[in-house]
């Protein structure tokens, strides 16, 4: 248990709270303490009954049932891996900037969920973070199933396409990718590469809440410097779709591991 505790303490601050909430909310529902119908995003209840907690709980909740297979642990794996890498990489020393990215993506996904009557928001939120990581590390080579290799910039779309082939659905992944692209375009691509106006900036109250610390790996507002492309395996294995049912996943490694 001490090893698990040490590992949990090593998780970056914001990723730790997000990861813990994504375990706690499904667990209390699974144990019967909270009715799942009180956790999902239900527009009529949100607007009509002013149940303002639903956008948050819909992002943290996932129905853990025998029929969901390994889908839930796969979500947790992606959350931990790619949120940790962003928080300790591009956003290292800038927790307010990373929180702003999470809030921007979350608000966009909540608005989309309300308009499209989506009940669960965990997968789009995780995919939006994965997309941002993939674009900021676009030249990193990742390994997929059956030994296929490609640049990280293609990873979100490979996941989307693979899930569409296996399960016939890609709505959650598509929304996550589009929201992640919106953030990346407005924060990095448009003002830096295209010389446009910077539409997004971290509010001062977030900077006061989570002050920056010295010694960060890279400052906010610029993508990380280009590096030689290391070999970094993506989650893989043999089985069903990446976000479908009945998956068999291999063990992933941290960026740069063999």
Running along the chain, 258 residues long, what does each successive block of 10 average in pLDDT?
A: 85 96 95 94 93 96 83 89 94 96 97 95 96 93 79 89 78 95 92 78 94 59 45 44 37 36
Tell me which DSSP letter residue 226 carries. P
pLDDT at 192: 75
pLDDT at 101: 97
Length of the chain (residues): 258
* Residue whose C-alpha is closest to residue 60's, from 107, 114, 102, 18: 18
Which residues are 149's β-sheet partners?
143
pLDDT at 232: 53
pLDDT at 65: 83
**Tokens representing residue 52 in the block:** 């303002």
**Can you tell me which residue has the tokens 């929180």?**
99
Q: Give the Cα separation of 137 and 122 in Å (integer).
A: 23
pLDDT at 106: 98
For 115, how many CA atoms within 13 A lie in the half-sphere containing its CB?
7
pLDDT at 214: 67
Which residues are 233's β-sheet partners?
143
pLDDT at 251: 35
pTM for the full predicted model? 0.81
pLDDT at 170: 87
pLDDT at 149: 84
């Amino acid at each position: 248990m001490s090893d698990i505790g040490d590992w949990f303490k090593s998780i970056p601050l914001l990723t730790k709270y997000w990861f813990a909430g994504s375990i706690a909310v499904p667990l209390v529902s699974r144990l019967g303490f909270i009715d799942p119908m009180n956790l999902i995003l239900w527009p009529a209840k949100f607007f009509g009954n002013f149940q303002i907690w639903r956008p948050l709980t819909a992002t943290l909740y996932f129905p853990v049932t025998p029929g969901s297979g390994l889908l839930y642990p796969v979500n947790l794996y992606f959350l931990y891996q790619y949120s940790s890498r962003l928080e300790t990489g591009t956003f290292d020393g800038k927790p307010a900037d990373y929180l702003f990215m999470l809030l921007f993506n979350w608000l966009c996904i909540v608005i989309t969920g309300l308009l499209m009557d989506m009940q669960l928001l965990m997968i789009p939120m995780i995919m939006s973070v994965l997309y941002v990581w993939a674009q900021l590390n676009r030249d990193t080579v990742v390994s997929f199933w059956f030994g296929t290799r490609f640049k990280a910039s293609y990873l979100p779309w490979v996941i989307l396409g693979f899930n569409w082939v296996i399960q016939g659905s890609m709505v959650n992944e598509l929304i996550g990718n589009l929201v992640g692209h919106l953030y990346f375009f407005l924060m990095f691509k448009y003002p830096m590469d295209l010389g446009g106006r910077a539409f997004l900036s971290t509010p001062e109250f977030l900077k006061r809440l989570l002050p920056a610390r010295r010694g960060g790996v890279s400052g906010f507002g610029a993508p990380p410097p280009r590096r030689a492309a290391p070999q970094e395996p993506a989650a893989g294995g043999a089985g069903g779709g990446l976000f479908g049912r009945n998956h068999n996943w291999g063990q992933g490694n941290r960026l740069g591991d063999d």
